[in-house]
Amino acid sequence: MASPTVLTGIKPTGTPHIGNYFGAIKPALESAEHNAFFFIADYHALTTVKSGSEMKKLVQEIVLTWLACGLDPNKVVFYRQSDIPEIFELATILTNVTPKGLMNRAHAYKAAIAEKINDDGINMGLYNYPILMAADILLFNTTFVPVGQDQKQHIEIAADIAKSFNATYGNVLTVPEARIKKDVAVVPGLDGRKMSKSYNNVIPLFADEAELLKCIKRITTDSSAPTDEKPLDHPLFQVYKLFGKTDIKTNTGWGQLKQDLFETANTFLKPMRDKYNSIDYAHAEKLLAVGATKARAVAQQTLAKVRKAIGIQA
């Protein structure tokens, strides 16, 4: 029996921070199985990234991030979405078996409608986003897609589209399942809210030592005296624990605690930061090209079955 195929997509929409690492990157790498596909979802980022130079920068950052964090292209298939033209042909085919009502119910579209009152300003990329994501998934005979609870609907939509296609043309596409990630780390930001670029409360994953210390010093604390017992649920201690620190003296001054956190975080992050800064992006491009060749070999087989089923190919 063939081993299950697990697929993970990474959208390049911002400079990675430690919340991304502990919440998504580290769990994905730890659970990577033999038949695993990791891809850079650059076309998905077009819904929000409107600058060519910015897109290029963000794609490079996310590619280098995964390599620096330990992704091994020899053990998984690592590729860029835009290098696989079969994805976009399959997406076009899938639009013809996808009910419009299914797209109307997509969370991202409903949220945009609620924010903008009507369809003005909502591009078709956002509206068709779930179909493109379905093509990403279905083209590689994906069995499981690891996602957080908030992304579960995307996988359910992909499964519905696969079932619709199979009901019309026969059992051609693998129906995927969401693998809900348990105990996903919710990393608090500098102000205590969830770490997010939109809140401007992040600690960049590859910040140099000076910037890292500056960010940690910005963590919001109270006016308690150095010898006062500090609450263990304080965001500073939550961040501390992510770096494997458990022997925390909570009756220490905030200034000393921040200095200790900096030293702990810097020791943890320095090897990844050094690797990130040392990778030649031309080498990374070669790795992506190898990954694209592997991915297209699978994609072309699936698309040939799809084309035959719909009568386009003999």
What is the domain partition of the chain in residue ranges? 6-185+280-310, 197-276
**Closest listed residue to residue 262, CA positions, set 205, 213, 311, 203:** 213
Mean pLDDT of 83-95: 98
Higher-confidence residue of 14 and 246: namely: 14
pLDDT confidence tier of residue 175, bands split at 50, 70 and 90: very high
Is the predicted pLDDT of residue 179 greater than 90, yes or no?
Answer: no
Q: In what order do the strands lie in the sheet with 77-80?
A: 77-80, 36-40, 6-10, 144-147, 177-180
**Closest listed residue to residue 28, CA positions, set 61, 84, 72, 60:** 72
Residues pairing with 177 in the sheet: 144
Predicted local distance difference test score (pLDDT) of residue 118: 67
Higher-confidence residue of 237 and 186: namely: 237
As a whole number, the mean pLDDT across the chain is: 91
197-276 homologous superfamily: Tyrosyl-Transfer RNA Synthetase (1.10.240.10)
* Range of weakest confidence among 109-123, 220-234, 263-277: 109-123
Is the predicted pLDDT of residue 149 greater than 80, yes or no?
Answer: no
Mean pLDDT of 72-80: 95
Residues pairing with 17 in the sheet: 204
pLDDT confidence tier of residue 284, bands split at 50, 70 and 90: very high
C-alpha dist (Å) from residue 249 to 36, 133, 215, 306: 41, 47, 21, 61
Provide the CATH number for the domain formed by 6-185+280-310 in this structure. 3.40.50.620
SS (H, E, C) 217-272: HCCCCCCCCCCCCCCCCCHHHHHHHHCCCCCCCCCCCHHHHHHHHHHHHHHHHHHH
Residues pairing with 6 in the sheet: 36, 144
Predicted local distance difference test score (pLDDT) of residue 117: 59
240-252: pLDDT as tens digits: 889 987 788 888 9
C-alpha dist (Å) from residue 250 to 19, 67, 192, 218, 247: 23, 36, 18, 19, 9
Residues pairing with 144 in the sheet: 6, 177
Predicted local distance difference test score (pLDDT) of residue 246: 77
34-73: pLDDT as tens digits: 689 999 999 999 998 999 999 999 999 999 999 999 999 9
Q: Global pTM?
A: 0.89
Segment of 164-173, 191-200, 220-229 carrying the highest mean pLDDT: 164-173
Alpha helices in 80-208 (DSSP H): 85-94, 100-104, 107-116, 124-127, 129-138, 152-169
User: In the chain, what percentage of residues exceed pLDDT 90?
Assistant: 69
Predicted local distance difference test score (pLDDT) of residue 198: 81
